[in-house]
Amino acid sequence: MDYDVVIVGAGPAGIFAALTLADLGVSRVLLLEKGKDCTLRSQHHIEDRLCGWGGAGAFSDGKLTLSTDVGGNLQDFLEEQRLFELLQQTDEIYVAHGAPDRIFGADWVQVEALADQARLADLELIPNRIRHIGTENCIKVLERFRDVLTHKIHIRTDCAVSDILADPGRVQGVRLADGKRIDARFVVLAPGRSGARWMKQQADQLGLKARSTSVDIGVRVELPAPVLKSITDITYESKLVHYSKTFDDKVRTFCMNPYGEVVTEENNGLITVNGHSYAEKRSQNTNFAILVSSFFTEPFDDPIAYGHDIARLANLLGGGVLVQRLGDLLAGRRSTRKRMERCLTKPTLDDATPGDLSFVFPYRHLLSIIEMLQALEKIAPGVYSRHTLLYGVEVKFYSRRVDVSPEMESAIQNLFIIGDGAGITRGLLQASASGILAARAITARV
Ligand SMILES: Cc1cc2nc3c(=O)[nH]c(=O)nc-3n(C[C@H](O)[C@H](O)[C@H](O)COP(=O)(O)OP(=O)(O)OC[C@H]3O[C@@H](n4cnc5c(N)ncnc54)[C@H](O)[C@@H]3O)c2cc1C
């Protein structure tokens, strides 16, 4: 064997698997990452945004959600108290490597009062404690992880894995894109959402069972920060769920960024919208996503293709992301550059095209988004203002969920699959925690 363990992907899942293996004394470990080292990644280069040391989280807002209900499905594998403890331990590792001390949403009296207010508005507040690392600090934390690991394991960046090698029933190692074979007793796959297509291809080749999940489609909302201040001061990010009046669809707020910025991102050739916020630098606005979850059964069972096509429409009409004042949307007219000049919310994203989102979204999604904004207005007056900005399309594609054991082992012996790429997690903390689970199981066998 060349190595005891080969890990594919240096996002949070892969990094935490490596940290845990190293801590538990397993040193014949190779971590392979197809992107660049974190110091060489640039937020302005599309190929660097999701790939490279640190994975998708590198330029993220770095919100660690310290709740068992948010950020993934690990609760399907671990009893609540054990998951809570695992998330605490994971969080402590972030703090030990430079994540700030402060936790938002820890004052339960205030959170309960907010939850009561939400109930009166047909909204459910998911209580959620958050540690906010901030975009400018994420890279520093990731560099610390890299520095610690450099002395303990082997790391190769700019090194894509093309295939997983397995004898029927047992993993053998991996083949690199340059054709080289690396033998290993254990392989841990942590390819993230950017590696979801590759993961699907490998799962199909290996005969692993996987099922499609949902796609979340919606808009990024931007408004003056004082509108949501009474909420964001307490919870930083509030996760609010609404079941839309007309369609009874689940609609939720997601990734709230007080005093943050709206940004574009590239998703398999499509330009979509997202948001983040710095720990120190502040804009005048707060942004958050409103997402509508869509599930399909038969004969159509491809939520990723559905989300793709809606995002493609926005790109077709606007050459990228569209922006519209809520007032224009409700009046049935497009936003134009002239109308945008009279908008009291000054956009933080320059390169969005003023347009008409009603040409993009199905009636079902558009109405659900409007009904969610009406519900939010009841707890934060000003949300339903004519000057609220809606950017489209924001879309969250989730990887197909691969069947794994509670130790994160697939049906192929010694092949572990973790993080967002396995469709098991959806956020930094749970992805990292899944790496710890796999590493502990492997250590017990090594
Ligand atoms: C803009 C943005 C903001 C976000 N903000 C937050 C936030 O505030 N809080 C939060 O909890 N979550 C956030 N997330 C989600 C979070 O980043 C992910 O949940 C997390 O990074 C998933 O970790 P992962 O290790 O599973 O996958 P990733 O982080 O995606 O890492 C996977 C890595 O594997 C590599 N890889 C893929 N295929 C191969 C291959 N064949 N060979 C070698 N390497 C390969 C990729 O290059 C990548 O670096 C955000 C995501 C984005 C995009």
Ligand 1 centroid to Cα of residue 333, in Å, is 38
For residue 428, report the distance from its CA to the centre of ligand 1, in Å: 8
CATH number reported for the structural domain that contains residue 424 in this entry: 3.50.50.60
Distance CA(278)–CA(100), nearest Å, equals 13
What CA–CA distance (Å, rounded) separates 121 from 119?
A: 5
pLDDT at 369: 98
**Is residue 411 domain-shared with residue 367, that is, in the same domain?**
no
Residues 98 and 220 placed together within one structural domain of the fold: no
Write the residue with the smallest CA distance to atom 13 of ligand 1: 427
Do 289 and 377 share a domain, yes or no?
A: yes
193 φ/ψ angles, rounded to the nearest 5 degrees: -70, -30
Angle between helix axes 80-96 and 12-23 (nearest 10 degrees) is 90
**Mind listing the pLDDT tens digit of every residue in the chain (446 residues)?**
899 999 999 999 999 999 999 999 998 999 999 999 999 999 888 788 889 999 998 988 899 999 898 899 999 999 999 999 999 999 999 999 999 998 988 888 999 999 999 999 999 999 889 999 988 899 999 999 999 999 999 999 999 999 999 998 999 999 999 999 999 999 999 999 989 889 989 999 999 998 888 889 999 999 999 999 999 998 888 899 999 999 999 999 999 999 999 999 887 789 999 998 887 889 999 999 999 998 888 888 788 889 999 999 999 999 999 999 999 999 999 999 999 999 999 999 999 999 999 999 999 999 999 999 999 999 999 999 999 999 999 998 887 899 999 999 999 999 999 999 999 999 999 999 999 999 999 999 98
pTM to 2 decimals?
A: 0.89
Which H, E and C letters describe the chain, residue by residue?
CCEEEEEECCCHHHHHHHHHHHHCCCCCEEEECCCCCHHHCCCCCHHHHHCCCCHHHCCCCCEEECCCCCCECHHHCCCHHHHHHHHHHHHHHHHHCCCCCCEECCCHHHHHHHHHHHHHCCCEEECCCEEECCHHHHHHHHHHHHHHHHCCCEEECCCCEEEEEEECCEEEEEEECCCCEEEEEEEEECCCHHHHHHHHHHHHHHCCCEECCCEEEEEEEEEEHHHCHHHHHHHCCCEEEEECCCCCCEEEEEEEECCCEEEEEEECCEEEEEEECCCCCCCCEEEEEEEEEECCCCCCCCHHHHHHHHHHHHHHHHCCCEEEEHHHHHHCCCCCHHHHHCCCCCCCCCCCEECCHHHCCCHHHHHHHHHHHHHHHHHCCCCCCCCCEEEEEEEEECCCEECCCCCCECCCECEEECCHHHCCECCHHHHHHHHHHHHHHHHHHC
CA 193 to centroid of ligand 1, rounded, Å: 6
Looking at the structure, tell me whether residues 340 and 410 fall in a common domain. Answer: no
What local confidence, expressed as pLDDT, does residue 251 receive? Answer: 97
Residue with CA nearest ligand 1 atom 39: 191
- Interval 241-300: pLDDT, tens: 999 999 999 999 999 999 999 999 887 789 999 998 887 889 999 999 999 998 888 888
**Which pairing describes strands 210-211 and 181-189: parallel, antiparallel, or unpaired?**
unpaired
Asked if residue 226 is part of any domain, the answer here is yes
112 located within any domain: no
Instruction: Flag whether 114 is in a domain.
Output: no
**Atom 46 of ligand 1, nearest CA residue:** 51
Kindly give the distance from the C-alpha atom of residue 192 to the centroid of ligand 1, in angstroms, as a whole number.
5
| Last-in-domain residue among 397, 412, 433 | 397
Q: Is residue 113 part of a domain?
A: no
Instruction: Tell me, yes or no, whether 33 and 155 share the same domain.
Output: yes
Is residue 348 domain-shared with residue 415, that is, in the same domain?
no
Using CB distances shorter than 6 Å, the residues near ligand 1 are: 8-14, 32-35, 50-52, 55-57, 60-63, 65, 71, 160-161, 190-195, 198, 265, 274, 276, 419-421, 426-429, 431
pLDDT of 46:
78
C-alpha angle 327/332/334, rounded to 5°?
75
Residues 285 and 344 both lie in one domain: yes
pLDDT in tens, 1-43: 899 999 999 999 999 999 999 999 998 999 999 999 999 999 8
The alpha carbon of 139 and the centre of ligand 1 are apart by a number of angstroms equal to 13
Report which ligand 1 atom has the smallest distance to the Cα of 161. 42
Omega cis (within 30) before 168? no
Q: Do the strands 250-257 and 130-132 form a parallel or antiparallel pair, or are they unpaired?
A: unpaired
Distance CA 147, CA 284 (A): 36
> What region, left, alpha or beta, does residue 71 occupy, with left being phi > 0 and alpha being psi -120 to 50 degrees?
left
Structure tokens at 302: 């491809």
| Residue-level pLDDT at 98 | 95
How far CA 362 is from CA of 6, 238, 356, in Å, comes to 44, 26, 13
Parent domain of 100: 3-106+131-211+399-445
Domains: count for the chain? 2
CB contact set of 138 (below 8 Å; sequence gap of 6+): 54, 57, 58, 59, 60, 62
Task: Quote the ligand 1 centre to 195 CA distance (angstroms).
Answer: 9
Whether residues 251 and 161 fall in one domain: no
Strand pairing category for 215-224 and 389-397: antiparallel
Protein residue closest via CA to atom 4 of ligand 1: 60
241 part of a folded domain: yes
Residue 359, in any domain of the structure:
yes
The amino acid at 238: S
Same domain, 371 and 418: no
Residue nearest to atom 2 of ligand 1 (CA): 60
Q: Half-sphere exposure (CA, 13 Å, Cβ side) for 264?
A: 23
Is 29:436 a contact under the CB 8 Å cutoff? no
pLDDT recorded at residue 147: 97
Residue 421 and residue 386 share a domain: no
d(CA 191, CA 205): 16
Same domain flag for 350 and 440: no
Residue to substitute in 73, 163, 194 for testing ligand 1 pocket (most ligand atoms within 8 angstroms of CB):
194
Q: Is residue 49 part of a domain?
A: yes
The answer to whether 201 and 212 are in contact (CB under 8 A) is no
| 122 located within any domain | no
Residue 106: both structure tokens together: 């820890």
Which residue's CA is the closest to the ligand 1 atom numbered 33? Answer: 9
Which pair of tokens denotes residue 54? Answer: 């640190």
Claim to verify: residue 358 and residue 417 sit in the same structural domain: no
Give the angle subtended at the CA of 21 by the CAs of 203 and 57, to the nearest 5°.
65
